[in-house]
Amino acid sequence: MAHGAQGPQLLAISTYEKGQAFLREAARLGCGVTLLTVNKLRDADWPKDVLAHFETIPEELPPEAVLPYVTRFCKHRRYERVVALDEFDLDTAALVREHLRLPGMGRSATRPFRDKLAMREAAQDAGVAVPEFSGVSNHDELWAFLSSTEGPWLLKPRASASAIGIQKFSDPNAVWPMLERLGDEASHHLVERFLPGEIFHVEGLTWKGDLLFALPHKYGQPPFETMHSGGVFSTRTLERGGAETEALRAIHADVVRGLGMTSGPTHSEFIRAHADGKFYFLETAARVGGAYIAEVVEAASGLNPWVEWARMVAAELHGESYALPERIEEYAGSVICLARQEWPDLSAYDAPEVVYRLKKHHHAGLIVRSPEVERVKHLLDDYGRRFYHDFYARMDAPAKPTS
């Protein structure tokens, strides 16, 4: 570990194992990087050889409990930036910034990227279509909402990620025992009208308020279905210049502007409703997309969101400007599932378009790339069916996030 590193000091917080490319690039660009993670990830695959400092804390600490650890580090280190590498670290990073008086988004600015109720209100205020929704704090308002909209509905945690903790119900009266069971946690949820449709996501990069990059993709099946009903996860780049791509670029730009993104990556999800064919906003996050989406983006564009994020942070620290690198225009997609086998054998998946093979315990996954959008779609359809037969293992959706 490179102790005593010169250059501006950067604190990266990650309670999940991710962001190694960010850490390496930030260090390469002259930042003294401290990684703060949790005890059980002490021996994970971190690039300790480039880190100035490596620190761990107990699992599941609230932001206020993390703060004393950080202030202890600050006795002999002068951090100039704090970066949260995962969704669940955004609140901690915002609190640390405010407490240490550092640049970047504080708690109020971070709220629309963490709170599903706040982000819906902000998107709606920006003129973006959003599925009908209601908070649950006031039961009279909630009952009025349920009485005036068609079910089914979803009860969603306001501050979770992906499809974790979401419950679906068709009888409006079913919501009351659900809220009763949640007790004082009930107000940390919202109710949203369930819109059947196809789910899309846009991976974006913003620099000082300007949206520089936005690449739309389409999931094979909605992540909610994959997590709750099982199946194989897949996503792919949409056809450049196509109607779907242009519509998503426009609505995504409105969301990023409406929620007040400053600099960094965004991962935003949208649904095209079967009922009317329109796109609706689902959620966004001020982070790089998970499930190896960054690798799909890199295969399709030549641009890795983790690396570009690190370059943005380094540019800010060195007082420099940032510009996107040269890009390619290919198409890429991924297929991933939990596997019955400890180390699945992917050798039979031998199309020349395969550019990445996942090496992860009890997981099967690969990424394909082609200049033809239809070739990627065909390979994902074929490989998805074969994955289900060859590897697929089912695991119940977690009620809360696990690192």
Q: What is the pLDDT of residues 307-359, one digit of tens each?
A: 999 999 999 999 999 999 999 999 999 999 999 999 999 999 999 999 999 99
115 lies in some domain: no
For tokens 């056809």, the residue is: 239
Query: What CA–CA distance (Å, rounded) separates 190 from 137?
Result: 9
Residues 231 and 180 in one domain: no
Give this prediction's pTM: 0.92
365 lies in some domain: yes
Residues 215 and 181 in one domain: no
Query: What CA–CA distance (Å, rounded) separates 290 from 293?
Result: 6
Residues 301 and 382 in one domain: yes
CATH code for the domain of 16: 3.40.50.20
Residue-range definition of the domain harbouring residue 189: 132-193
Residues 72 and 156 in one domain: no
400 lies in some domain: no
pLDDT digits 0-9 by tens, 197-223: 999 999 999 999 999 999 999 999 766
CATH code for the domain of 381: 3.30.470.20
311 lies in some domain: yes
81: left (phi over 0), alpha (psi -120 to 50) or beta: beta
Give the residues of the chain that fall short of pLDDT 70.
1-6, 161-163, 222-229, 395-403
Residue at which a domain ends, from 193, 226, 245: 193
Query: What CA–CA distance (Å, rounded) separates 30 from 40?
Result: 29
Q: Got the DSSP string for 24-89? A: HHHHHTT-EEEEEEEGGGTTSS--GGG-SEEEEE-TT--HHHHHHHHHHHTTS--EEEEEE-SGGG
Query: How many domains, in total, are found in the chain?
Result: 3
Residue at which a domain ends, from 193, 224, 239: 193
